[in-house]
Structure 1
């Protein structure tokens, strides 16, 4: 049930992708303004993830899970009733605030499940972050092409309510709580720093990377992060225990997660464009958005299928080796993509290999984090790891956007990304995966991941 809730939440990331070209007309707004319907979800998720994780540790993980699902359902209803930009941004913000469901679910599993089942369960829950994104695109495309666009939000509202009811019925509240006082200043500080960073990254191409807005937000974000770090080290009950996060195992896992997420998202930025570009380009496949979804969907099923394998590798040799194996598979998938982007079957194989690597690596990340933090900080630590993945995908989007904008080819009066641009992005994805592999190699060996208990 928790994994299903995670998939429902991650579906929100790809929910409106089929609508993006039509949003200016549907919402009667400019193309630049309608991008806020996507940016709002990203920013809300970044703000909510660390805050909700800490609140879950303090006041109950199931309680905060339910709050997150209520926000998702409410946002979906608002979106279903919207026909203008402002209510749509509110709707997408509310949906983004549910991003903490996956780390909260992993933390509930640690508290409630027997040791023998924990590894496979947390691997599946962690992989749901990628599964929902992969499965959401074909579902959203099918609905968008055959029904009124508001149906997308009614469907997501129904899924949110179903998840809410089933969590109420089946998921127990954990007895592991930290208590204490909530660090409001710390929450405000990290929220401001993350909003500044992600705005600069996500809007940099539109505003100009050397513009005053982009540079100002980036500089302010760094300054706020530094001040926030000093505050968290000084306060007695911090939002994020930085002393725990700098432990070798947690620190390297989070860095590897960021780099790995950077690699993971490159697939979502290249394959859909290659599939949809006209065949007249010589490298486009001239297919519909629904075909994009059908090519990407197998990777989601593969992620779910390999979750038990990830748990088995972690239980036998340690989660470090699961992360390394996953990174190697992703690098192999992207490496193949540099040379083989000329047929649908090739793209299905590439996305499936990358999906297998994502599923194996994502399954290892919560085991590594929970193996180095006390039970009272589980939700907070898992939330920070999820946040690092989100930052990685945002950076990937920015870098790929620059590459695709610089390496172009002529198609009549317009410029489109060239074949070399797509090959370059695939190569960057392979390099990022190999970097994550190198970082993971320095993780300390942890023989067992099944019990999820703190190694210290």
Structure 2
């Protein structure tokens, strides 16, 4: 019997895997936050108009949004570790390109390449799901999901310090350096995932999604410059709607789509993604408002007169608190479920913004707002991957989390555009310079509170915890599900050998009537496996393990909310001369 290299990991996952993957997420956040301290100076630094300089930020956002679901799907197909290293490598190249130029077009090209690093978040979450024991998975995914905020919080004061005391190109050399470090650590510590999705890469789907997203995000990021009612803005929105509609029709007909829209339409996935957009909005508002409020001169009557570095330090606890909430989330989620922690996080965010409306008169108050919002956003962000992972087959983890990360990116894009427009329209003109007003800051906080309210409503629509699939069985070490009776629509049982002994780490694949993979998992140490079915119908459960012959067993599921017990007995390996 031939052994497929992807059946098992090349080596056992060490305890350093989670910190290394989280560090990769922090690197992504650093790349995103890199230019925040010098945003206002970019037109002079690049010798261009302000409207052109914004492309240095917009290009990264667009490429990240496009690359995220594509990298997730490629990771499912060809190996998540491999694609993680590729994402980080492209980012390092982009950082070096930007470090060596002051030309606008070359800088935009470099920043576009840096956006590919966004794929590291869903790929890291997918690797964790494939390798970690179930009891460690919740806190690990929470840390990975929160790494965006952690990296942003840590990078802001550091980037401000570098920008204040060195040439601004040093920011890109620093980003390239930590990106290279993340690649080396990943190569040394993180084993490749054994899980692979079957099928091919949907090239047309990737092109269609890319075009649709660019057409949608471009007017969002540039609408305040072009005018929200201009022909260009409205035309691009209309074109985006047409392209994404045609893309959706095509994805429903393709055998191996880039995004399985039927899975995405499940309530657990759909409402999690909608809530993710609102969490993204709420996260970005505080990042835009507090640094400006802190740095405005006291002569305005409401500015807090802090330096760029001090402002960065006062906002940094936003990210640090997100990191601290990861283990808290794990305990709460284990007891009450990720839906509860998402709702709790949303409520804390609402309290933070509500209190923030009256806490804008002293620097220490900004610190309080950052800590409260960091706790709420940390809980909410930590809940999202667990909700997604619990609702999709193991083979779709990368693509599904990629789509979820994309939803957060859309939230931050919308937030950036809307808050930028609010602050611009409420600004006072002082000596030809637009100065944001306290009224604009308060309206921004009200918008964030409204977004959280909508997100809370979406979270309430999520299926009840006892009807959602549990975090399940692609763990190589522990695929035992303590509450398997709560699995929604699926098969469960044990993989046994010819003598009836449990077979650990056997690969079990669920195949639908069209011959497509509908799910995959690895059996636990006691041979236990659990697989959910997407719909009623006839299925084949194929099982294989090293040292045993393969098995294919037919089974039918009625599509109701129950788990069918089905043990899989592998024959002994046939030895031929």
Match of residue 425 from structure 2? 406
Q: How far does the alpha carbon of each residue in 1:252-305 deviate from its partner, in whole angstroms, 9 at most, with x for none?
A: 000001112111211012111111112111111122211221111111111100
Q: Does 1:70 align with 2:89?
A: yes
- How many residue pairs were aligned? 456
Q: CA deviation at 1:452?
A: 4.5
Tell me what 1:18 maps to: 37
Shift of 1:218: 0.8
**1:134-189 C-alpha deviation (Å, 9 max, x unpaired):** 22111100111111111111111110000000100110111110131111111000
* 1:379 equivalent in alignment to 2:394: no
Q: Indicate the residue corresponding to 1:323 in structure 2.
A: 342
User: CA–CA distance in 1 between the matches of 2:46 and 2:290?
Assistant: 28
**In structure 1, how many angstroms separate the alpha carbons of the residues matched to 2:44 and 2:384?**
41
DSSP-derived class of the 2:464 partner? coil
Residue 101 of structure 2: aligned partner: 82
Name the structure 2 match of 1:149: 168
Q: 1:180 aligns with which of 183, 188, 199?
A: 199
Q: Matches of 2:433 and 2:201 in 1, distance apart?
A: 53
Counterpart in 1 of 2:143?
A: 124
CA distance in 1, matches of 2:162, 2:424: 30
Q: Which residue of 1 aligns with 2:462?
A: 443
Q: Let me know the Cα RMSD of the aligned residues.
A: 1.4
Q: Distance in 2 between matches of 1:306 and 1:252?
A: 23
Bigger strand fraction? 2
Bigger Cα displacement from structure 2, 310-319 vs 429-438: 429-438
Distance in 2, matches of 1:260 and 1:413, equals 35
For the residue of structure 2 that corresponds to 1:339, the secondary structure is coil
Distance 1:338 1:170 in 2: 46
> 1:413/1:29 Cα in 2 relative to 1: closer, same or farther (>3 Å)?
closer
Of 429, 436, 461, the match for 1:417: 436
Aligned to 1:303, which of 314, 322, 331? 322
Question: More helix by proportion, 1 or 2?
Answer: 1
Which among 337, 345, 353 is matched to residue 356 of structure 2? 337
Distance 2:423 2:273 in 1: 28
Deviations along 1:353-395, whole A, 9 cap, x unmatched?
0011111111110000010100000000000000000000111
Q: 2:241 aligns with which of 194, 218, 222?
A: 222
Deviates more, 1:172-181 or 1:198-207: 172-181
Contact conserved, 1:119 with 1:450, CA < 8 A, in 2?
no
Unaligned runs of 5+ in 2: 1-19, 474-486, 489-531, 533-577
- Specify every segment of 5 or more residues in structure 1 that has no aligned partner in the other structure, as ranges: none
Distance 1:369 1:256 in 2: 12
- 1:270 is matched with 289
2:263 matches 1:244: yes
Equivalent residues of 1:319, 1:449 under 8 A apart: no
Cα distance in 1 between the residues matched to 2:53 and 2:435 = 22
Q: 2:68 aligns with which of 25, 49, 72?
A: 49
Residue 373 of structure 2 corresponds to which residue in structure 1?
354
CA shift digits 1:80-118 (9 cap, x unpaired):
111211221111011101111011000100000011111
- Give the Cα–Cα distance (whole angstroms) in 2 for the partners of residues 91 and 357 of structure 1: 34
